[in-house]
Structure 1
Amino acid sequence: MRSLRRRTGDAVGLLFVFAFAVVRPSRFWPPKWMLRRIAASTEVRTEREAAAEGLLARVREIEAGVPWLRPLDVVIRDECMDVRGHHISLFGAGPPKKSMTCRMSAFIVFSPDRDPEDAVAEIRRTFPPPDGLSPGGISESLHWDTDERKVAAEVAHDALWARLTRRHGEKSLGQLRQENGALCVWALHGETYFTVV
């Protein structure tokens, strides 16, 4: 009986060690409330403002480079995400894992006076988005409404900290679509501007 208890105790101990190795405390530390506080801190705000200036400078270049493109709105999506669940390590080997990343994107929303595919083809011919990253580390892409898929720029629901700002008011993309017809979006995704390890 005593050896059965000892074996059961050993098995439970091994399970605990294995569980501790798989679900390490780093998955829970720092706690989410602390990450939210960091995301709203002065240090992050400074990095956020620099990231916004870089994106808006590129937005101004696009507006100057495509004179017929009249934005209905310019949406800035800024969010800090808990990324700890994106990796599981058995023994904690390898480089330090990230806890939170903050990144910002801009969306130039417009409605061309022609077929959206034709408008995008003209942009690609006259003022093409860069292949790969632009000099400011921004990836760019063009999207438009189709019967199967509508363009979107919403903030993730599980963000630790998020902000969505619009240049031309508070109309949703659905309202702009209702008023203007099919929408096109020139999406600009900046690199991560702040990371917590």
Structure 2
Amino acid sequence: MHDMVAALSARKQAMFAIALAAASHLIAVDVTGMPPQLDRALAVAKTEGWTVACKGSAGEERVIRFAFARDTNEDAVEAALGGRARFVSSTTYYYTDKPMPLRCNHTPVRGYLNRPTQVLALGPDTTLVALMNLAHSCGLKKTIVRDFSKQDLATSTMVVPPGWKTLDAGEDIGARNGPTICFAQLMRSAVAARSAD
């Protein structure tokens, strides 16, 4: 008898959880990034009909909260923000069943590199000049294209084609998480767009 009561109780709890999940819906998303990332997010928001609910900061990065119509789902928002090649640094989704903070400020993300480095990319000079402009727009204003050095390699087994150069941030990128993520996300987004063409 006890097992039957426990099974019914577990079943009621599962049904309640399903009903609660069905009643919950997406109401907003906070997107974090540097100015070129957020400019793109604002353009997407305008096209999608999202409204700006508040603005905040996360260290060097800025945060914008977009509010949605009731029938908006997370997959559609994620796709609008670039899908797998997302162009913003991070997203935080809010649903009706969880409290949403009144302010849009977030704790900044800490550096993720385990050793100091200034190297953003290696490649042909023409490619790196375009990437240098991207790095500047993300806040890495000291970035230059310079001659390649073997110390630029992450591992000693990498082989670099003759004539390749180094895109050098001019400072330790591990200490500049926001601009570094901006550069990486927008570079990845640009590569994905070129691959799709």
Q: Answer yes or no: same fold by TM over 0.5.
A: no
Larger radius of gyration: 1
